[in-house]
Structure 1
Amino acid sequence: MSHPRNNTRLRSARVAAGYHSQQALAEALGVGVRQVRRWESSTPPWPHPDLQSALTQLLGQSMEELGFTPPPGRERSKGQRPHSALDTTRKGLAAVPVQSTATIQPVSVGDDFAAVTRAHRSLYWSVAPTALFPTVIGHAELGCVLLAETVGRTRQSVASSLSETWLLAGRIQFFDLRLSDEADETWLRGLQAAREAEDHLLGAATLAHMAFVPGWDGHLDEAARRTVAARTYARRGDAPALLLAWLDAVEAECETRASNTRTALHLIGHGEDVLAAGGEQPVPDWFDWFSAPRLAAFKGNTQLRAGHLPQARTTLCAALDQLPESEQKQRSVVLGDLASVEAAAGDPVAACQYAVRALDQLKRTWYATGMDRVREVRQALVAHQGEQCVRDLDERLYDWSTTVSALAR
């Protein structure tokens, strides 16, 4: 008995795009896995228009190329451009009509929307993430509406600011709130907006952020695929040296978490060479989360995990001295790593002193990544928990404000 032929075209396109399971594609689209299973059957149903857009955007092929047969009367006219997946926001965000009935917005809308985006970018460094995040998401929802009500260069400007907004929202989710899966979905929306804007550098930055999600979970193959894609977009956009060095740092972070510290240090060394060589390409205004001191912080953390304690201490102290006072979030991370260096070196007093300084920083500006570093230090000091310095650290680590803040986030 012959078996029914499945939709191998969709399955092949799914795997080629990096979605190695039906569940992975379902999550990216915001649908149930049963829906994807039906699409990959021998008689795939014709998807809803919004899902058609999402499928073609994610997999890079037309509906016919993906194995679907349109019902009579629904054939797409030649040259018609598919709607963007941004026409509908999913997972709890408000739906946006495919075609707006409102009057086309004036040209000034692009600059006005961008001004709010810039304000959010600046507020990120000092405003509590739980307070800022809803505002950023609301701004993104507005951007989705404006995208349907603008044309030409104004639409491209809105799409660029929208991509940056999704990028910021994902950074808050991932680094500040520890919502990795949600951040991955948010960054996917940012990637779609970057495509609408035809902004390769925003695409590269978004893809590199997306590499953190599997990289921090130890899925190095998937992280590598995303960093390769990020580097490809960076080349297309003629990326500045600072962004190229950051891509090295991202890949090094993933390698470090997989215990490949030698590879990570090689990547960081390459990043240092790239920065030293410099270049004339301007750095985008939105690229405000990386600098030479931050590259040193990456290096110090890798040296710490490699067991190179004297080198890590020197590198991290230099990074701390060079970081501006305004970079309070990153300072908490570096202080936490310095505390880990001293704990590994057998000096609990010095370790606790650095950890307390990190907690002081976190009290002013909360950062989940910084608190993770402090918790790692405390775990490393278990053998010394009877000593007064560790007890004093516990008094700070588990006071009312710190405990409530940590559990609330």
Structure 2
Amino acid sequence: MGRNDALKAARLRAGWRSVERAAAALSEHGQQLLDDRHFNVSPRTWRRWEGERPGWPSEDTALVIHDALGSWPEDLGFTTPPGWIRPEHHEEADMKRRSFVSVTAAALVAGPVRPQHVDPALIGYFQEQLEGHYRADMLLGPHDLIGTVSAQYQLIDKLVRSAKGETRRGLLRVGAAYAALVGWLYQDAGDMQGASFWRGVTQEIAMRSRDPHLIGYSLVNQAQVRTDLGDGAAVIDLCEAAREDERLLVPKVRIMAMQQQAHGASLTNDRDTVDELIDGADSLLSRVDDDLPWGNACRRTPGYLEVQRATCYGRLGLGREAGALWSQVLDIVPETARRDRGVYMARQATAAAVAKDPDQAVHIARDVADIAVETRSARMRRELSTLQRAMRPWQDAPIGQELNDVLATVTEES
């Protein structure tokens, strides 16, 4: 007979080792939460919930389960009835609406602006500021920078409306770089709606600038969002479009497109293509010599292409190969690149779990959890969720409970 393993796993994570203990604990929790001394869940009811046909609890019981276990019944293996809407649904929708309004406010300034003189030196000023924002992103994470960078984009957009000739084209190019960075910050913060919006802004400005390098860069930016959404075919389509006439592109943009296409290949389970693309990108690294202020991760990031290869290998389930690469990468990534180190270590921990070394995985996860709380990076929390799935074979063992305890601090802060 089938079992509701999701509820059983949640029960064990809560420390309720038996059905009888779970029923008693939930009853007590519900009596306190609802201020109803008659609220009761029997062991027989709990056994049914963990069985083949768990059914659906009453609305009050659903609230108690969520408050006690941190998940709604539909996430715990229950059979969701037609028309069920989580109690916080309307609040979530309103929060998303307010968030999207704030995302678009900086990019869509309505109406004409008063003409003004625009000094060409402003292009260099914004380029210098951009490099500082890249460094700050490595140290701070996304939340503290989104407002600053999007406000500067708004100023650039205002200046573009008055600028002429080469000054206007130069501001369009630097504006596209700012929009791309805002898109990345939203993506790292876990707001895919905001990320997609700003990637679209980047592409629009790139097209207006008529700069083939920026157009290729904007397509790779779109592919990054599709990678996070797990849409390998779309990633490949976008990167192939970016590479359609590679003769027009500086080596840096070609490298970006090739490594991102490798991520698409990993999502479609094509290891040979992953290696072919990463190797091809590696052959171009020594030729990167442009002075473009954007897309310089291949220059700034130690072991840049091996990071991509290790990430792809992790998706392909090659635990030992990915783990060996992460060890090499982390030896050269500076401690100051704290957020990137946290992401890489989380992927290293997952590789250890896939390679059937759960103790090493949890050992690494302890450091990652501290960094995730500090940087508030949604990307890092997603990596830790991937680790948790990879650790499912040990969820009932002490090492599985240890991982749950480690990750509880991240959940509390998120």
TM-score (norm 2): 0.67
Equivalent position to 2:125, from 112, 115, 119: 112
| Correspondence for 2:357 | 347
Q: What RMSD over aligned residues (CA atoms) do the two structures have, in Å?
A: 2.7
Larger radius of gyration: 2
Deviation of 1:147 after TM superposition, in Å, equals 0.5
AA aligned to 1:110 is: I
Partner residue in 1 for 2:168: 155
| Aligned residues of 2:239 and 2:258 also touching (Cα < 8 A) | no
Deviates more, 1:317-326 or 1:346-355: 317-326
Determine which of 169, 176, 180 is the counterpart of 1:167: 180
Are 1:318 and 2:331 counterparts?
A: no
Flag the 1:166–1:319 CA change in 2: closer, same or farther, 3 A.
same
The one-letter code matched in structure 2 to 1:172 is L
Matched, 1:308 2:318: yes
Matches within 5 A, 1:2-401: 91-93=104-106, 95-96=108-109, 99-174=112-187, 176-232=188-244, 235-237=247-249, 239-240=250-251, 242-275=252-285, 278-279=286-287, 281-282=289-290, 284-290=292-298, 291=301, 293-399=303-409
In structure 2, what is the Cα distance between the partners aligned to 1:299 and 1:180?
24
User: Whose relative contact order is higher, 1 or 2, with alpha carbons under 8 Å and at least 6 apart?
Assistant: 2
Structure 1 residues 104 and 254 mapped into 2: Cα distance closer, same or farther (>3 Å)? same
In 2: Cα distance, 1:119 partner to 1:271 partner? 27
Matched pairs, number: 311
Once residues 308 and 293 of structure 1 are traced to their aligned partners in structure 2, the CA distance between those partners, rounded to angstroms, is 19
Counterpart of 1:192 in structure 2: which amino acid? Answer: E
Q: TM-score, normalised by structure 1?
A: 0.68
- Report if the CA contact (8 A) 1:268-1:299 is conserved: yes
Measure the CA separation in 1 of the matches of 2:127 and 2:264: 32
Q: 1:395 to 1:287 in 2, by over 3 A?
A: same
Alpha-carbon distance in 2 for matches of 1:95, 1:367: 26
Q: Judging changes above 3 Å, is the alpha-carbon distance between structure 1 residues 209 and 347 closer, same or farther for their aligned structure 2 residues?
A: same
Q: Are the equivalent residues in 2 in contact too, given 1:164–1:286 (CA < 8 A)?
A: yes
SS in 2 for 1:398: helix
Q: What pairs up with 1:394-409 in 2 under 5 angstroms?
A: 394-399=404-409, 402-406=410-414
Change (3 A) 1:218 1:94: closer
What per-residue deviation string (whole Å, max 9, x for no partner) do you get for residues 20-66 of structure 1? xxxxxxxxxxxxxxxxxxxxxxxxxxxxxxxxxxxxxxxxxxxxxxx
Structure 1: distance between partners of 2:195 and 2:136:
19
Residue 94 of structure 1 and its aligned partner are, at CA, apart by 6.5
**Equivalent-residue separation in structure 2 for 1:171 and 1:94 (angstroms):** 15
Whole-Å Cα distance in 2 between the matches of residues 201 and 94 of structure 1? 22
| Cα distance in 2 between the residues matched to 1:305 and 1:117 | 32
- Cα gap change, 1:134 to 1:151, in 2 (>3 Å): same
1:316-349 Cα deviation digits (max 9, x unpaired): 2111112232322222222112211221222211
Residue identity in the other structure for 1:284: L
* Equivalent residues of 1:204, 1:232 under 8 A apart: no
**In the aligned structure 2, how far is the partner of 1:221 from the partner of 1:305?**
15
Q: 1:288 to 1:359 in 2, by over 3 A?
A: farther
Q: What is the CA deviation profile of residues 56-79 of structure 1, one whole-angstrom value per residue up to 9, with x for unaligned ones?
A: xxxxxxxxxxxxxxxxxxxxxxxx
State the shift of 1:168 in Å. Answer: 0.1
Aligned to 2:97: none
Percent identity between the aligned chains?
A: 19
Distance, in Å, in 2 between the alignment partners of 1:329 and 1:137 is 21
Whether the 8 Å contact between 2:143 and 2:376 is mirrored in structure 1 is no
| TM-aligned CA deviation for residue 164 of structure 1 | 0.7
Deviation at 1:218, TM superposition (A): 4.3
Flag the 1:314–1:95 CA change in 2: closer, same or farther, 3 A. Answer: closer
Residues 125-168 of structure 1 deviation map (CA, whole Å, 9 limit, x = unaligned)? 12242221122221111111111121223222221221111000
What is the one-letter code of the residue matched to 1:127? L
Alpha-carbon distance between aligned partners in 2 of 1:394 and 1:346, rounded to the nearest angstrom: 18
User: Is residue 233–residue 264 contact of structure 2 (8 Å, CA) maintained in 1?
Assistant: no
Gaps of 5+ in 1: 1-88
What are the Cα deviations for residues 352-384 of structure 1, in whole angstroms up to 9, with x where unaligned? 011112223323433222221211112222332
For structure 2, the residue ranges without an aligned partner over 5 or more in a row are: 1-101
Give the Cα separation in 2 of the matches to 1:337 and 1:191. 30
Query: SS of the counterpart of 1:282?
Result: coil
SS of 1:214's equivalent? helix
Please report how far the alpha carbon of residue 233 of structure 1 lies from its aligned counterpart in structure 2 after TM superposition. Answer: 6.7
